[in-house]
Structure 1
Amino acid sequence: MTAGDTPSIATDDLDDPPLRPLPERAALLLGQVGAPPRLVAHLRAVHDVAAQLLEWVRPRCPGLELDAEAVLFGAATHDIGKALHPAELSGPGARHEAAGRELLLEHGVPAGLARFAGTHASWTAPGTGVEDLLVSLADKVWKNKRVPELEDLVVARLAETDGRPAWQWFMELDEALTAVGEDADRRLAYQMSHPLGRR
């Protein structure tokens, strides 16, 4: 992979599927760590879904305190540790989680943003914030995977914030996630069109 490949995958405009570019800082970091093309494509897909979730939640629950920029950066870098553990791009494994957090810290990313590399797969851990839940949710629904336990945690945060009953939030979230899932095949095809290894 040449130095120009990562920023290109991370930021170039796409029509099919239409995916938002990654934040500039995230794109630069991915280039610096030599992230494989498929990893960058995956992060772009998850980042786009995280942006869709933010667009859905903010007008519906304006009282919910959350750092949208942190969610977007977290989604754009949550799997950066797979640059060090590339076998986990195509197979199971969790070594990339701690490795990704450390990698981000080594590159000067504040701990509050680096945390997503470790929390995206541990949404029941104490101290998990709504930002962590949204990154975790985006990392599942980008490929139309539904995780009831995770969705229930998001619903509980929304219901706590505005007082509407959980069942109402569940119905609304279910509708939103179903809509996001409709483009999952296109996102998966986009990710798979990029090579696993560096060119």
Structure 2
Amino acid sequence: MTSFRPLPAEVVALLEVVDAPPRLAAHLLLVHDVACQLVDWVEEHGPKLDRDAVLFGAATHDIGKVRYPAELSGPGSQHEPAGYELLLEHGFPERLARFARTHASWNEPGIEFEDVMVSLADKVWKGKRVPDLEDLVVSRLPGVPWEAFMALDDVLDRIGAAADVRLAFQTAHPLSR
């Protein structure tokens, strides 16, 4: 059995309050775990970033799906602004709530490195590689770009190697209570 790093206590409490579906809680746990791995790597190789913000963002990025449950198993982006509003309604500051609305818009102007890292975690947890997103990460890393790319590629390959385990874990959780 694979163990994943637990969600922050305030996120666990929120998921209970909003009666989050088990599949959503599992997804948030998995993206959070991958974000932990990415942040650990960036702290060794990259620029300074707000670790707690990235981990909170990864742990809540899809929280709006409690209001749009069809987006748990199908396409849609209504959950993004809904999640942002839900987090604000529950007293979370805008600097943390923003990840619910920015996790799919990593290529927009003004997006911070923390937003990009949440977006990356949300892609690579399932083994998906997005070259433009990875290039954006590399552009924000110090050093020679091709060396930064190779180092990032190595960590993403390592994370992606466990994608099947994560997908099976998520799928084992029902879409509703």
TM > 0.5: yes
SS at match of 1:190: helix
- Give the aligned partner of residue 54 of structure 1: 39
Q: Which residue of 1 aligns with 2:144?
A: 165
Query: What's the counterpart of residue 154 of structure 2?
Result: 175
The structure 2 residue matched to 1:100, chosen from 83, 91, 102, is 83
What's the CA shift for 1:17? 2.1
1:24 equivalent in structure 2? 9
TM-score of the aligned structures, taking structure 2 as reference length = 0.98
Structure 2 equivalent of residue 40 of structure 1: 25
Q: What SS does structure 2 have at the residue aligned with 1:44?
A: helix
Query: What do the CA deviations read for 1:104-145 (whole angstroms, capped 9, x no partner)?
Result: 000000000000000000001111011001000000000000
Q: Which secondary structure does the structure 2 equivalent of 1:115 belong to?
A: helix
Query: Which one-letter code corresponds to 1:179 in the other structure?
Result: R
Stretches (4+) displaced over 3 A: none
Gap runs ≥5 in structure 1 = 1-15
Question: Distance between the aligned counterparts of 2:175 and 2:137, measured in 1?
Answer: 32
Task: Map 1:116-131; keep pairs closer than 5 Å.
Answer: 116-131=99-114
Matched pairs, number: 177
Gaps of 5+ in 2: none
Taking the TM superposition and a 5 Å limit, the aligned residue runs for 1:177-192 are 177-192=156-171
Q: Deviations over 1:43-69 (max 9, x none)?
A: 0000000000011111112xx121000
Larger Rg: 1
Q: Distance in 2 between matches of 1:77 and 1:92?
A: 18
Q: Percent identity?
A: 63
